[in-house]
Amino acid sequence: MPEKVNASIITIGDELLIGQVVDTNSSWMAMELNKYGIWLKRRVAVGDSRQEIIRALEEESRQADIILLTGGLGPTSDDITKRVLNEYFGGRMVTDQAALDNVKAIFARFNRPLLESNVKQAEVPNVCTVVYNTRGTAPGMWFEKDNKIYVSMPGVPHEMKGMMLDFVLPKLVSYFVLPAIISRTLLTAGIGESFLADHIKEFEQALPSQLKLAYLPNYGMVRLRLTVISTDTATAERDVEEQFAILKERVKEYLVTDRDEALPAVVGRLLTARGETVSTAESCTGGYIAHLLTAHAGASDFFKGGVVSYANEIKQEVLHVSDTTIRDHGAVSEETVRAMVQGCLNLMNTSYSIAVSGIMGPGGGSLDKPVGTVWIAVGNDEGIIAEKLHLRFDRTRNIEFTAIFALNLLRKLIVDNR
């Protein structure tokens, strides 16, 4: 009989508390745990402090069955996690031969001398199962106490991921009898969160109580997620599919995708299916749209290339926007982005092009064209459409919002062209 298994993540490191590092490990770990029916109940970040680490271990073990720790396993003196765990679980430090061989092999590969601090990395508490690190020098540690599992891993994302995939997740799955977490996700555009909630009010009220609906708004789009946690996989899947079909029908005029995928992936999939290609002509987004399109494997099937025309000179000389267009209307204008699309189509010989030009801030605005003014155009040989945005975020979010808006405009053009 499957049990509800709860996990908690403890991330350790002063750098997390002074804001020098954004914690991307936790969301990745959460997603992986979810796939196997393990519910992440809490995440806690504490500093490199013995007292704080012990407090977190005590608190989290009170309600979680699995406690995953990351960070504080490096070779330097501020890394104290291993010592504290050894104390907490009442062990003594011993050198693990395989971990030492791994450290030695890595140093040999890079042709570097072995330091005492590196040798020390192969020491582990004698009360743990060693989790070998195929991507770095610090071994992980698996402890069991009072029917609870504790796993300590490095904070370096790719090292942690290797341990999770190769060892920790398979071992957790065989240790517990896990329920199924089934969920379906869709993405909408063109309707705000509260209007969407109003639009699907009846659906939500009629939703069977075991199903949970979540709204995840971002960049002016709203993702909806239907979830059920159940010990009966077949029934759970049927329930979710049934309600998901109703939900999809209800939001069909706003539907971007009924899969759990990001907008650039949707655009890539649409283009690839049609054997079509896209290119980009970016001013204010500075290459970010091209980056989003190429972040996932398979981009070469639909993305040929782009121009980042940050200076007006590049708009003119590479994209052949005429100097009269820029002089008469300005670099941030409908005329300029339309000319950029045309120039990019000619230069890159793609089915579609995207062009953006705007003022991302904090400086560069004028009375006429304040910070946040952005022109976006997308088009193909049959025509070009353009839209203007007035953004009010900070520079980073203005860039992100513009990129997502432009990709959605392209998506609409592709879908309308079908």
**Between residues 29 and 247, which has the closer beta carbon with respect to a copy of itself?**
29
User: Of 2, 190, 220, 286, which one interacts with a copy of itself (CB under 8 A)?
Assistant: 286
At closest approach, how far in Å is the CB of 45 from a copy of itself? 4
Segment (H or E) for 334 = helix 334-348
Residue 126 binding a copy of itself, by CB under 8 A:
no
Q: Which is nearer to a copy of itself, 19 or 416 (CB)?
A: 19
| Dihedral angle sign, alpha carbons of residues 233, 235, 240, 245 | positive
**Is residue 318 near a copy of itself by the rule CB under 8 A?**
yes
27 binds a copy of itself (CB under 8 A): yes
Residue ranges of alpha helices (H) inside 22-149 are: 25-35, 50-63, 81-88, 97-109, 116-120
In degrees and rounded to multiples of 5, residue 325 shows phi and psi of -60, -45
Residues 361-380 that bind a copy of itself (CB under 8 A): 361-364
Is the CA virtual torsion 340, 343, 347, 348 positive or negative? positive
Q: Note whether 16 binds a copy of itself by CB under 8 A.
A: yes
For a copy of itself, the binding residues in 162-201 under the rule CB under 8 A are 183, 192-195, 197-198
Site for a copy of itself, residues 219 to 238, rule: CB under 8 A: 223, 225, 227
Tokens representing 199 are: 């639009």
State which of residues 5, 12, 37, 40 lies at the interface with a copy of itself (CB under 8 A).
40
Question: CB of residue 127 vs a copy of itself: minimum separation in angstroms?
Answer: 26
First to last CA, the chain: 49
| Subset of residues 83 to 102 that bind a copy of itself, contact rule: CB under 8 A | none
Comparing CB distances to a copy of itself, the nearer of 323 and 415 is 323
CB half-sphere exposure, 301, CA atoms < 13 A: 13
| Residue 22 Cβ vs a copy of itself, minimum distance, rounded to whole Å | 5
- Please select the residue that binds a copy of itself; options are 226, 271, 289, 413, rule is CB under 8 A: 289
Decide if 37 contacts 179 (C-beta within 8 A): yes
Q: Taking the CB of residue 308, how many other CB atoms lie within 10 A of it?
A: 17
- 180, 236 Cβ separation under 8 angstroms: yes
- In whole angstroms, how close is the CB of 332 to a copy of itself at the nearest point? 13
For residue 210, state whether it binds a copy of itself (rule: CB under 8 A). Answer: no
Which residues in the 231-270 window bind a copy of itself by CB under 8 A? none
In angstroms, the CA 237 to CA 234 distance is: 5
